Chain A
Amino acid sequence: MPCTTQDVIAALCAGAKTITEHRDELVRLDRSIGDADHGENMDRGFRAVVAQLDSAPPETPAAALKLVGTTLISSVGGASGPLYGTAFLRAASALGETAELDGSVLVGALQAGMEGVEARGKAVTGDKTMIDALSPAVEAAKASAESGAGAATVLAAAADAAHTGAETTESLVARKGRASYLGERSAGHVDPGARSTALLLAAFAEAGEAGGAAGAAR
């Protein structure tokens, strides 16, 4: 079941909705180990994304992701604006002119997005950042695509792994971002960036499954 531009836009809108729903949770997580702005910033950014998608609907999956990237960079601020913005821009570049995403194309986009975050944020696995959710997500997506799975299944595998990855950040001591200044005291709290990454991927996967079910019924 390939994934069309419409499916991508639906997934992005689902992502925006989940960020709004979890705004307070992300604020709370960031208040514990950061500066309490992650939920507010992500909510502001994704509201802007939805407004952009409504006013100028993109015509390819790549155009949709590029629009998300530029909108996040120009509306979020903080560290998450450039990091998420770069992730979406790099994923858009990886898609090129592709009109419909299959499992392996999706893996390429996820991988490119993660590499963008690594390059901008200079974080690695275990630093207690969004990489701790993204990296296992990419690995799980790869394994799923190699077994021949379609886009929706690959996305579901990525979302599951991201969720687990985000949970593991609870015990980690932060080495990047604002939380790194707390040293040992940063342990015991889930990283807000890893959590928002897991939330977004879960929303994308859920939208993917809904799209797949609709496709099968057609």
Chain B
Amino acid sequence: MKKILNEPANVVGDALRGMALAHPDLVRVRTDPALIVRADAPVRDTVAVISGGGSGHEPLHGGFVGPGMLSAAVPGPVFTSPTPDAVQAAISQAEGGAGTLLVVKNYTGDVLNFETAAELASAEGTEVRTVVVQDDVAVRDSTHTAGRRGVGGTVLLEKIVGAAAQQGTDLDGCHRLAERVSERVRSMGMALTAPTVPHVGEPSFTLDEDEMEIGIGIHGEPGRERVPLDNADGIVRRLLDPVLEDLPFTEGDEVLLLTNSMGGTPLMELYLAHGVAERLLAERGIRVQRRLVGPYTTSLEMQGLSMTLLKLDAELTELWDSPVHTPALHW
């Protein structure tokens, strides 16, 4: 393993201290328990939108804390969900009297810990709602698994719901909106290499030079199949086809397309893939109205990418375009 590290066990806390120094105007950071809150939190009479999960997916979620997006983020250890008391601490720091919406990616650990935190916060008188993001179409037979994973679509949901909260939408409204975004977003990812978890020291799996994994998640777990490496056209088609079929997206639909790096893929390859995706969507008569290209939901240094499509309407487009000011997303 070659990584820029001091003590592997302290990687999250050390990174958080650096993040606080890098963005003092936007976020406040605590390390025990680990959490990141808006510098101006709590924002009175505004719904607190809080997310979190294992670390290793940066900039998700800490990079999206700030005006117009998340009120707080709760990072667990690498690939491990945070504990309920950490989530509860974030709620008490960010809660501005209008209730809290928890954005949870569908993984057993995240769901269990956030569920417990919601119970604890409710018992203390805070109104808490939860939306579980489950956009990954790579997961088949969801009745025989823990259900579809939450992946790249989480970023789009956090941006849109964060904008609504910033505009003063109440907890019911934010929750309904979150459910609506969740129903309209789908993703699929692939990997060329595996990531190395710092406390493990070796890659989570191995791939030969001429192989790739299709249908990966964001925790270094292998995907749904291992196939021969294809060119960019072939790779993007393999990701888009199941996404398009699933919702389904059809001719005339207006969409937001997120072309997301898993952490180790350079922008050049990402832009190349994005170009392919826009061409394939245009061939199907699907209109890309908004786009986002870059590393947003990553899996440490994994090489690979994911494609996310969100079906837009006027309201979602307006909320997407609203100002946002966070370490990783701003306009």
Residues of A within 8 A of B (CB): 27, 31, 33-37, 40-41, 44, 73-83, 120-121, 174-183, 185
Contact = CB atoms under 8 A, between A and B. Distances in A.
A43 B132 CA distance: 29
B220 interface: yes
B83 A81 contact: yes
A185 B222 contact: yes
23 contacts: A34-B221, A35-B204, A35-B220, A36-B204, A41-B80, A73-B84, A73-B85, A74-B83, A77-B76, A77-B80, A78-B113, A81-B83, A82-B112, A82-B113, A176-B108, A177-B146, A178-B107, A178-B108, A180-B146, A181-B149, A181-B221, A182-B222, A183-B145
A122 B240 CA distance: 33
Given A176-B146, A180-B144, A181-B139, A36 B220 contact: yes
A73 B83 contact: yes
B141 interface: yes
A33 B79 CA distance: 14
B221 A175 contact: no
Contact of B112 (A31, A74, A75, A79): A79
Contacts of A120: 112
B222 A178 contact: no
Interface string B244-273: 000000000000000000000000000000
A78 B107 CA distance: 9
Contacts of B84: 73-74, 82
Nearest to A182: B222
* Chain A interface, DSSP helix/strand/loop, else mixed: helix
Q: Which 4 A-B pairs have the closest CB atoms?
A: A35-B219, A180-B145, A79-B109, A82-B112
Interface residues of B, number: 37
B197 interface: yes
B116 interface: yes
B79 A175 contact: no
A73 B116 contact: yes
B199 interface: yes
A129 to B, nearest CB: 10
B77 A77 contact: yes
A83 B146 contact: no
A74 B51 CA distance: 18
Given A31-B205, A37-B80, A81-B83, 9 more contacts: A35-B79, A36-B204, A36-B220, A37-B78, A37-B79, A41-B80, A176-B108, A178-B146, A183-B144
B77 A37 contact: yes
A78 B76 contact: yes
Interface in B71-126: 76-85, 107-109, 112-113, 116
Contacts of B54: 35, 37, 77-78
Contacts of A185: 222
A180 B109 CA distance: 13
Given A73-B116, A79-B109, A35 B221 contact: yes
A176 B222 CA distance: 16
Contacts of A76: 83
Contacts of A182: 221-222, 224
A33 to B, nearest CB: 8
B259 to A, nearest CB: 22
Most-contacted residue by chain B among A37, A76, A175, A182 (CB, 10 A):
A37
B132 to A, nearest CB: 14
Contacts of B202: 31
B80 A31 contact: no
Contacts of A81: 83, 109, 112-113
A77 B199 CA distance: 16
Interface in B185-234: 197, 199-200, 202, 204-205, 217, 219-222, 224
B108 A79 contact: yes
A178 B80 CA distance: 11
A34 B219 CA distance: 8
A177 B221 CA distance: 12
B82 A77 contact: yes
A37 B219 CA distance: 10
A175 B108 CA distance: 12
B150 to A, nearest CB: 12
A33 B223 CA distance: 10
Contacts of A77: 54, 76-77, 80-83, 109, 113
Given A35-B221, A77-B80, A176-B146, A183 B200 contact: no
